[in-house]
C-alpha cells in the first residue's frame, strides 16, 4: 500500500521489516485465523508456520507467527527471518494471505491514551524517521481511513503506543 513512496531498490537489499531481534518479537506478523489454518498445514507455499493464538479485548482472534525457537545464539542482536521470507524473492505470500500489518509497514495503528492513532515506525531506511510530505498526503488521501476501518474490524492489530513513534494526524 506504500509502494508509491517505498524504494524498491532499498527494499530489495534491506528486508529489515521481515526479520526480528528478540526485542522486536512484539512486531512479528499477525494473521487472521483463516490464513493461520491454511499456513499451519502443508500449503501451496511449501512452508508451514507456527502460530500462537492472540485474542484482543473485543474477542477477535488471530495468530501471531512464532519465531522464538529459531534463534541460534544468545546474542540480543541476532535476527531471525520470518518463516515466509525468501532471501532472494522477498515475501512469498500472495497479497490475500499477507498480513495487513505487513502491507502497511512502516505504519502502525496504536492506542495512545485510549485514542487510535496512526504512527510511523522510525526504523525503515527507505521512508525515514520523520513523516515526509508524500507520506502525509498518502495517509490523508484515504490510506489513513482504510487503516482505521481495518483496525476497527480486526482490533488485534492495534498496538500500545510506543515513545519515539511519530504520530500522523488525519
Interface residues with ligand SF4 (CB under 6 A) are 6, 10-11, 14-18, 29, 82, 84-85, 91, 93, 98-99, 102, 105-106, 124-126
CB nearer to ligand SF4: pick between 85 and 110: 85
**Contact, 110 vs 116, CB < 8 A?**
yes
Shortest Cβ 115–ligand SF4 spacing (Å): 26
CB nearer to ligand SF4: pick between 1 and 14: 14
CB nearer to ligand SF4: pick between 87 and 113: 87
**Contact, 83 vs 65, CB < 8 A?**
yes
Q: Give the N- to C-terminal CA distance of the chain in Å, as an integer.
A: 17
CB nearer to ligand SF4: pick between 14 and 54: 14
Shortest Cβ 170–ligand SF4 spacing (Å): 22
H-assigned helices in 75-128: 100-104
Shortest Cβ 117–ligand SF4 spacing (Å): 20
Shortest Cβ 15–ligand SF4 spacing (Å): 5
Q: For residue 90, report the phi and psi dihedrals to the nearest 5 degrees.
A: 90, -150
Q: For residue 85, report the phi and psi dihedrals to the nearest 5 degrees.
A: -100, 125
Strands 107-112 and 90-91: unpaired
Amino acid at each position: 500500500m506504500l509502494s508509491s513512496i517505498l524504494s524498491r531498490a532499498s527494499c530489495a537489499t534491506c528486508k529489515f521489516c521481515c526479520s526480528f531481534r528478540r526485542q522486536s518479537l512484539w512486531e512479528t506478523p499477525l494473521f487472521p485465523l483463516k490464513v493461520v489454518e491454511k499456513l499451519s498445514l502443508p500449503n501451496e507455499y511449501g512452508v508451514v508456520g507456527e502460530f500462537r493464538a492472540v485474542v484482543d479485548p473485543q474477542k477477535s482472534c488471530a495468530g501471531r507467527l512464532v519465531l522464538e525457537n529459531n534463534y541460534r545464539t544468545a546474542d540480543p542482536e541476532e535476527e531471525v527471518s520470518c518463516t515466509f521470507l525468501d532471501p532472494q524473492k522477498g515475501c512469498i505470500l500472495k497479497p490475500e494471505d499477507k498480513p495487513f500489518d505487513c502491507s502497511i509497514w512502516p505504519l502502525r495503528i496504536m492506542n495512545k491514551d485510549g485514542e487510535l492513532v496512526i504512527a510511523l515506525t522510525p526504523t525503515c531506511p527507505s521512508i525515514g524517521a520523520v513523516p515526509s510530505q508524500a507520506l502525509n498526503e498518502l495517509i490523508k488521501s484515504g490510506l489513513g481511513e482504510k487503516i482505521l476501518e481495518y483496525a476497527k474490524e480486526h482490533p488485534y492489530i492495534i498496538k500500545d503506543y510506543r515513545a519515539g513513534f511519530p504520530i500522523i494526524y488525519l
